[in-house]
Each structure stands twice: as C-alpha cells, then as structure tokens.
A = this chain, B = another copy of it.
Amino acid sequence: MQVLRGNIVHAPALGELEALEHGFIVLDDDGTIVSVCPTLPEEYAALPVVDYGDSLVMQSFADMHLHAPQYPMLGMGMDLPLLEWLNTYTFVTEARFSDNDYARRIYKKLAADLIRNGTTRVVMFSSLHTDATLILMEELERAGVTGYVGKVNMDRNCEGLLETTEESKRETLRWLDACDRFKYVKPILTPRFTPACTDELMEWLGKLAEERGLYVQSHLSENQSEIAWVRELHPDCRQYWETYDKYGLWKDHTVMAHCVHSDARECAAMRDANVVVAHCAGSNINLCSGVSPIRKMLREGIWVTLGSDIAGGAALPMYRVATMSIRASKIKRIESSWREEFLTVPEGYYLATSSGHRYFGAKDGFAVGDKLHAIVVSDADFTEAARPLSVSERFERAMYMMSKDSIVSVWSEGRKVL
C-alpha cells in the first residue's frame, strides 16, 4: 500500500468540485483507492508517501472519441467541409496504415502523447486494417492508455479505402480472436457510420455485438448533408439513429460521436437506450458542422462525455477539449440571448473526466474502490498571481493554462505510468 499527497481536486458530481489542500489518497497494493482524506488517518501513518508537494493532483482525462490513424493529419484540411475533407485527406491518410512499420511509428507517438497530456482512458477508432489495429492496441497498452479500440468496418461509399463485406466480416473475427492477449485495451465494434456500411454488414455486426456482448461506437447526426444522405440510404428509417437501432447497434453503452443535430426524439432515444454522447466541440466548429446543445442534453438526463475527435479536432489534449466545450456552450448562451446556461469550469472538468470514466465502470471523482486514474499538475511556472490563490482557483487556471510540460506525473489503472 502507499499514500499520495498533494492538492487533490476532483469532480464527485456534475458541477461539484472537491478540493483538498495538501490532502491524501491512500492506495491498495493494486492501485485501488482506499481513502481520499484531508488528513492522514493514524492507521496509514506508516505507509510510504509519494509527496507531490504543492502540485495539483487531478483526475486524468477520458477521450471518448478519436481516430488514431488521423493523428498524422492533425491541423490539416481545416478549410474543407466534412464529406470533402473525408475524401481529400482522411481516407488517403488512413490508407497508409496498411504499412505496419508506419503504423508502429505513429501509434507509438500517439500513445506517448496521450499519456503526456493526461489522457488515460479512450474509446477510439482505428482504421479498417486488422494488423495496424493490433499494433495500436499494443502501443496503447505499453504506454499505459486503457479503454476500447475498434477496427473500423466500412464496405461502401468511401473513396480509396474500402473492404468487401466478406473481408470486413473475416477481418473483424481475426481481429477479435487476437485481442485476448490485451489486459487493459479491449475491442469495440465500429461501423464507421451508416453511409459507409451495407445493410448486410450492419446486420452482421449487430448480431456479433449481441453474441459476444460487445460495445459499439459510431457517428451520429454530425452535419446536415450527412443526415440527408442517411435518409436517402434508409428511406424506411424516420431518423438517423434508427439506422443503428434497426440492426441492434443502438443499445446500452453505444458511443455516438457528435449528435450535433439530434432533436428531441433522437435525444429521447439516447436516454432510453443509455447511449453515450461523445461531444466533439472543436471538431464540430472546425468542420462547420454546428454546435451541439450539450447543456440541454444534460438537463434531459443524457449521458454526455467529451472527445478530441482527432483529426476533425485539431487538439489532442483533453484540457484543451474541455475549455473548447466550455466555449461552445457559451456560444449557445450567446445565441439564446443569455437564457441558456454555459458549462462552468468544474462542469467541463466533470465531462472530460468522471463522465467518461463511468463508461469503464468507475464511479464519479476519486472514489473508493476504483483504480486510480490521475494526473499531477505543477503550476509553479505559471505567472505569479496578484494574491495567494485557493486550490480551486489554481485548478481553474490550470484547466486553461496547462500544457504537457505542466503534467509531471500520470497514474493509469492504479499504476504510475509517467
């Protein structure tokens, strides 16, 4: 057992922030949290202490939507709309991942950059390539990133990057068989989005999800032309989400990225099925898709999490994604003539941490019984404030100001990985 000491800041509920100045986290042998306390109880007094001094000990981040093979094109093609951007940049970049050596180099860097930036849990798209997907899972596991990764299924409508329905099925099974060896990174079924998958493939994936008890991730209602396209492809479905529901892919823990244009009926379907929204504010603005009504969704009891959406999003760090989500909510406030509330900093932090960690079975905040997922942030290099700051104020400033250089240590699944 051991004890971590520092200024502990966590989000035990949406909008709630608990700050313990020079507090303690007591860990079991396997990194499970035994106690979070302002002073160290007598019974733990003899344990070894990892002293983080005056640094902030914060929850690590969960990135609930990103495309690993788009990491090489970060910050590129930002002047194009979604469907053109997919055809000009994205599919060409992803096609490169048929080269295992290239995949190894890129994924090793991605995994390291995730940890350096404090992201310890992910729900991630790979490309359609089975081998590169396994390399990705290996590199994540090695670096200490945990979560779910999906080999992408796409058997129609994608220029220059396509598999046949038969290949898609066969490779999915080959991939799933090879996943047993991973301890911290698990497979998730990943139909790219409705326009990219034939009905036959969707049906097969739905059955597979049920048979093997697998989670599902995909995209939903990102922009208007995409929605119109889905309507053409599935005239029998009234709304986009029903094209997933029809094949058993709309279910508990299904992660749907974007949901920018989801109306009341689509939102109700999310809540009823316990579908998870991965809100990707930066990406939605970069591609002019729209601004998702997150605050409204939260009010309606929908499970909202955040995603960097690399490379529609141009920033991997989830602290940047969190502040961009706050800005997006402020846009909604402006648009509503200040009637709609914006996301506060503690709320943005909750969505970027607790709300995502729940996907993996964790409780909110630093909770007893959960494996520790934490980052240690040093703000010693930040500009000297005009007066002494409280731990909560320092936390708020850190959310806007931190960089990978401020993250001095990272804990993932109870293990110190940086």
Interface set of A (CB-CB < 8 Å, partner B): 71-76, 78-79, 92-93, 95-96, 102, 105-106, 109-110, 282, 285-286, 288-291, 314, 323, 326-327, 330-331, 333-335, 338, 342, 344-345, 382-387, 393, 396-401, 403
18 A-B contact pairs sorted by A residue (CB < 8 Å): A72-B386, A73-B385, A74-B383, A74-B400, A74-B401, A76-B393, A76-B396, A78-B345, A79-B342, A93-B386, A105-B384, A109-B384, A288-B333, A288-B338, A291-B334, A314-B323, A314-B401, A403-B403
Query: Which single residue of chain B is at the shortest CB-CB distance from A284?
Result: B334
Known A345-B79, A396-B76; judge A288-B330 contact (CB<8 A). yes
Nearest CB in chain B: distance from A180 CB, A: 30
Nearest CB in chain B: distance from A398 CB, A: 8
- Measured between beta carbons, the chain B residues less than 8 angstroms from A291 are 331, 334
How far, in angstroms, from A349 to B383 measured CA to CA in the complex? 27
A400 near B344 with CB under 8 A, answer no
Each complex incorporates copies of this chain amounting to: 2
Which of B96, B102, B335, B386 has a CB less than 8 Å from the CB of A92? Answer: B386
Which of B96, B314, B386, B401 has a CB less than 8 Å from the CB of A75? Answer: B401
How far, in angstroms, from A93 to B386 measured CA to CA in the complex? 5
B400 near A314 with CB under 8 A, answer yes
- Measured between beta carbons, the chain B residues less than 8 angstroms from A95 are 386
B286 near A330 with CB under 8 A, answer yes
How far, in angstroms, from A398 to B399 measured CA to CA in the complex? 23
How far, in angstroms, from A387 to B160 measured CA to CA in the complex? 15
A73 near B386 with CB under 8 A, answer yes
Known A109-B383, A314-B401, A323-B314; judge A285-B75 contact (CB<8 A). no
Nearest CB in chain B: distance from A182 CB, A: 24
How far, in angstroms, from A78 to B364 measured CA to CA in the complex? 24
Which of B74, B327, B386, B403 has a CB less than 8 Å from the CB of A286? Answer: B327
- Measured between beta carbons, the chain B residues less than 8 angstroms from A400 are 74-76, 78, 314
- Measured between beta carbons, the chain B residues less than 8 angstroms from A385 are 72-73, 76
How far, in angstroms, from A93 to B288 measured CA to CA in the complex? 37
- Measured between beta carbons, the chain B residues less than 8 angstroms from A403 are 403
- Measured between beta carbons, the chain B residues less than 8 angstroms from A79 are 342, 344-345, 396
A106 near B383 with CB under 8 A, answer yes
Known A96-B386, A291-B334, A386-B93; judge A399-B75 contact (CB<8 A). yes
Query: Which single residue of chain B is at the shortest CB-CB distance from A105?
Result: B384
- Measured between beta carbons, the chain B residues less than 8 angstroms from A72 are 383-386
B92 near A387 with CB under 8 A, answer yes
